[in-house]
Structures are given as C-alpha cells and as structure tokens.
Amino acid sequence: MRSHWISRFACGGVLGLLLVCQSAAETFRIATYNVENYLDQPTETRREVKSAAAKAKVRESIRAMKPDVLALQEMGRESALLELRDSLKAEGLDFPHWEHVKGYDTNIHVAVLSRFPIVARRSHTNASFLLSGRRFYVSRGFAEVDIRVNDRYTFTLLAAHLKSRRPVPEADQAELRLAEARLLRARIEEILTANPQANIVVLGDLNDTYNSPSTKLIVGPRGRMRLVDTRPAERNGDNLPNPANPNYFPRNITWTHYYGVEDSYSRIDYILLSPGMAREWVTNETFIVTVPNWGQGSDHRPIVATIEATDK
C-alpha cells in the first residue's frame, strides 16, 4: 500500500540495556475540490465543456496534494468522472474505487475517488424539504460512503455541494442553503447518535462562510456532536496565533474560492471531522494546495487533511 508516513520514533535506554521505540504511524489524505464545470459535453444550462488546459491544471492541483480519497463538486456526467480518473492514473495516481451521485440537478454532480475500497454506499439522491409550503430537492444530493483504509480503520464520508449564493426566483438562496444544511446535519446526528465514536468526515463546497447560519448548523452546537473544522491554510510560513485575540482563528491564508462578480476571495470549502475522527487528525499535514495559475483549472482551490489510520 502506498501511503504517507509520519515518523515518530521515541527511543531511550535504561543502563544501556533497554531500547523502546514507537514505530511510524500510517497516515492517509482526504481532499475536496470543486472542479468548476468539469463537463465533457454541454448540458441544458451549462454550455461549455472543460478545456484540455483547464483539465490539465485540475490534475496538476490533484497531483500536488496526492490525496488517497478525493471528493469532487461540479463534476459532469459519469463519463467525465471516469475520464478524470483514467487521466490521473496515466499520471501516477490510481483511484480504483469511485462514487458518482446523480441528484436533482442533471448538469453537475458530487463524486468521490478513492484508493481504498468503498465498503458501503448510502448516497442521498432524492432528499427533499418543504419551504413556504413548496417542496424542493437537494440539488446535488449528498454522497455517503464507508471507506476501509485498512483492517483497523474505516470511516464514513459525507460530501456535499450546497445551494450557491446566486439568487433564484423560486426562493431565497440563503433559506434554500439552510434547508439543505439542516438535512445534512440531521444525517450527521443520526450517525453520531447510533455511535458517538464514529469516524465521520463531512466535506465539500458549503457555499458560505464559517459564521453563516448554514455552515454553523452543519458544524453543530458545542458538545459531543460538534464537528471539528480542520481549516487548511497555505504553507507560506504563517504559524502564529491571532495577535488580537488567541480565541480567534490565526491570520493565515485560508480562502478557497474566487468570486469574479465581487472580485472577492472567501473560505467556503471545508473538511470537518467528527470528534472521534478528530483524534486522528494530523494538523501540520493539513493545507491548501497552491499551484501557479490555479484559476485556470477552477474558481476554487483544493484543500487536504491528513489522518492517522488507527483509532485513538
């Protein structure tokens, strides 16, 4: 098994006769990436297919983080996912296992690529909710799969792409996003109620900032069911706490999305961990991928978190 390793050797002796060593810990990487209209043919509402140059830049970003499990948003039809998978394999990254979620939106989809076996599939393709007396569907659905890393470690992955902040005539965009978030949070609590120690990663494009109602709802209230925000940042040397208030996030660079209409940058992509899985989180190997001309591939930047493959 190709894997990432963190060397942790704690060796010492008693009168030169006793040597105790702790072996290296096996780790793996989980990533999420909105690949911005990765289409191999026009759709009803999205007319341009992904160019060869844009696809190459997407692959460059993926190779830079070397993920073992990758959640994707704005993926086209199944054939587009398999094209990306085959192209990555030709460049040295093999993902034999995959999931493609066909939600209410027929143009773009949520998907998962994995080096490790997917041992259970419970993706949500028809989730719906009532808003002002009208029924709506979660546009892209939710991916839900169980992934077995090794004989000792399995986790549940929930991937989402919530309603964008673009206004729509049917309803208020923030209320739609909050309703989708409420369904996702209900599923998280269902899993954690059955097993408070469950290993869960919730990731994807949540389409709003950390302090927004929809993101706060998914993270959850303080307590045993609150998710841990891994908050990947650029590896540019910023490592000091916030000088104004140590309780605030550090002032490092964490934006993941560029919005051209406002010429703004914000953090709307997340990797969130259940309390049980957060115990295995490797903080110094969690980061935002930075490659030159990243915007040629997508208006989002990918993020990656590293996990030790042993329950603690």
Each residue of 227-260: pLDDT tens digit? Answer: 999 999 999 999 899 999 988 999 999 999 999 9
pLDDT for the residue numbered 107:
95
Please list the residues that pair with 118 across neighbouring strands.
147
Q: What is the pLDDT of residue 171?
A: 96
Tell me the C-alpha to C-alpha distance, in Å, between residue 262 and each of 166, 237, 257, 265: 12, 28, 12, 9
Helix axes 78-90, 52-65, angle to 10 degrees: 60
Q: What is the share, in percent, of the chain residues with pLDDT greater than 70?
A: 92
Contact 238, 297 (CB under 8 A): no
The predicted pLDDT at position 18 comes to: 35
Looking at residue 11, what is its pLDDT?
A: 38
> 122 Cβ partners below 8 Å, 6+ apart?
144, 145, 146
Looking at residue 52, what is its pLDDT? 98
Residue with tokens 């296992």: 97
265 forms beta bridges with 258
Distance in Å from the first CA to the final CA of the chain: 22
Confidence of residue 4 (pLDDT cuts 50, 70, 90): low
The answer for residues whose C-beta is within 8 angstroms of residue 196's C-beta and 6 or more apart is 224, 225, 275, 276
**In this predicted structure, what is the pLDDT of residue 58?**
98
Q: What is the pLDDT of residue 44?
A: 83
For residue range 81-93, list pLDDT tens digits in order.
Answer: 999 999 999 999 9
Mean pLDDT over 188-213 rounds to 98
Residue 110 near residue 159 (C-beta atoms within 8 A): yes
For residue range 164-197, what is the model confidence (pLDDT) as tens digits? 999 999 999 999 999 999 999 999 999 999 999 9
- pLDDT tens profile 127-174: 999 999 999 999 999 999 999 999 999 999 999 999 999 999 999 999
Tell me what pLDDT residue 24 has. Answer: 59
What residues does 159 pair with on adjacent strands? 143, 203
Specify the pLDDT at position 8: 34
| CATH superfamily for domain 26-308 | Endonuclease/exonuclease/phosphatase (3.60.10.10)
Note the pLDDT tens digit of each residue in 7-42. 333 334 443 433 333 445 799 999 999 999 999 999
Decide which of 20 and 204 is more confident.
Answer: 204
pLDDT tens-place string over residues 258-280: 999 999 999 999 999 999 999 99
Which stretches of the chain are assigned E, i.e. beta strand?
A: 4-6, 25-38, 69-75, 97-101, 109-114, 118-121, 128-131, 134-137, 142-150, 153-161, 200-205, 228-229, 257-259, 264-266, 269-273, 281-288, 303-308
How high does pLDDT run on average in the chain?
A: 92
Strands 109-114 and 25-38, how do they pair?
unpaired
